[in-house]
Amino acid sequence: MIYGWRGAKMGSYNVPNTVCRFCNCSEPQRITEFGKYAHAMWIPLFPIGKTTVAECTSCLRTIEEKDFPRDLNSQMIQFDGEVKRPIWHFSGLIIVGVFILFNVLFG
């Protein structure tokens, strides 16, 4: 595929004070965020969303964001902004922006 979308890990953090519904322990849940981006010829163009998963640090069960328990969701609010999307996911937009700017200045 010379164009399409790909996912890349953006970062992760541990959320304490939640109870795992598989092992019933209160070990931290490890949250990992993956950023999806559109690409053409393997050059990232622009972001198209993200996927968040949680892994229990005790039993290692992984759950998707839609299955997150309420206490985990409420604990995650304080980590909002913890994971930043890397600037290279915007490469296509930056290139287009520079191109337009160049044309405006010198066109």
Residues within the interface to Zn ion (CB under 5 A): 20, 22-23, 56, 58-59
Least distance to Zn ion from the beta carbon of 54, Å? 10
Residue 13 burial by Cβ neighbours in a 10 Å radius (0-12, 13-18, 19+): middle
Q: Residue 18 or residue 33: which is nearer to Zn ion going by CB?
A: 18
Least distance to Zn ion from the beta carbon of 93, Å? 40
d(CA 60, CA 49): 25
Q: Residue 57 or residue 91: which is nearer to Zn ion going by CB?
A: 57
Q: Which of 47, 64, 43 is nearest to 55 (CA)?
A: 64
Q: What is the CA radius of gyration of the chain?
A: 18
Phi, psi of 102 (to 5 degrees): -60, -45
Q: Residue 21 or residue 84: which is nearer to Zn ion going by CB?
A: 21
Least distance to Zn ion from the beta carbon of 70, Å? 16
